Amino acid sequence: MNIAVFGTGVVGQTLAQKLASLGHAVTIGTRNAEGTLARTDRDSQGRPPFKDWHTANPTVKLAAFAEAAEPAELVVNATNGGGALAALQAAGQDHLAEKILLDVCNPLDFSQGFPPLLSVSNTDSLAEQIQRAFPDTKVVKSLNTMSASVMVDPRLLPGEHNVFVSGDDVDAKSRVTALLVSFGWATAEVIDLGDLSTARGAEQMLPMWTRLYGALPTPMFNFHVVVGEGAPQS
């Protein structure tokens, strides 16, 4: 499958590398490809510049958002939450129409330090904002409740744990679920929360996630939903 991954940070890199290893044709989308490759400084977490990662992953292409999105069958939004809409607008409505958009980012607001606030919550979600801005795109929210390494290799953690899926299009959710299974998620570990409004709940798990990260302190954890005996069968 031809897949565009928007975002050059650790989440975008991790997802792009995994998708390429599975045989997909992957292009990372960025605002300015030449500018991205010209950066030489380490990021805020001390990681090497993107060009070093790109050199080590030569099968993954790099292009401007619109160029990456145009041939893609599926687009993964792994941008910073605050820049998600701008990145997608740069890709263009026509290049996203009728395509599945897997939204893995969160509306985190670090303006008051750590832990971050949510820039949108309760009665709305970033995923819904994206869907309203791109009504012809099939938005599916998933993978936003865990660290990047767990997204693509759930067996890094012992035992069962869960990944959530939200979206209005049943077929789009089914195709995203198949992608999750290819990452190593068991079908039973994928919980379909329902329509896209349920992404509010998934995004609102991030304040708990960041506090767990501070308390443990490691990003190598995830949520596991335990269903009691006698629960109604879906």
Is residue 100 one of the residues assigned to a domain?
A: yes
Q: How many domains does the chain have?
A: 1
Look-up of token digits 């030449």? 34
- The confidence score (pLDDT) of residue 47 equals 83
- Per the CB < 8 A criterion, the answer to whether 143 and 124 are in contact is no
Is residue 226 one of the residues assigned to a domain?
A: no
DSSP string for 125-174: -HHHHHHHH-TTSEEEEESTTS-HHHHH-GGGSSS---EEEEES-HHHHH
Helix or strand (DSSP H, E) at 4 = strand 2-6
- The C-alpha atoms of residue 74 and residue 67 are separated, in whole angstroms, by 13
Look up the pTM and report it. 0.94
- The confidence score (pLDDT) of residue 143 equals 98
- Per the CB < 8 A criterion, the answer to whether 147 and 219 are in contact is yes
Residue 24 belongs to domain spanning? 2-215
- CATH number of the domain bearing residue 98: 3.40.50.720
In the chain (234 residues long), the average pLDDT of successive 10-residue segments reads: 96 98 98 90 80 94 97 97 94 97 95 89 97 98 98 98 98 98 98 98 97 95 93 62
- The C-alpha atoms of residue 130 and residue 85 are separated, in whole angstroms, by 7
- The C-alpha atoms of residue 34 and residue 48 are separated, in whole angstroms, by 17
Is residue 232 one of the residues assigned to a domain?
A: no
- The confidence score (pLDDT) of residue 233 equals 62
Is residue 170 one of the residues assigned to a domain?
A: yes
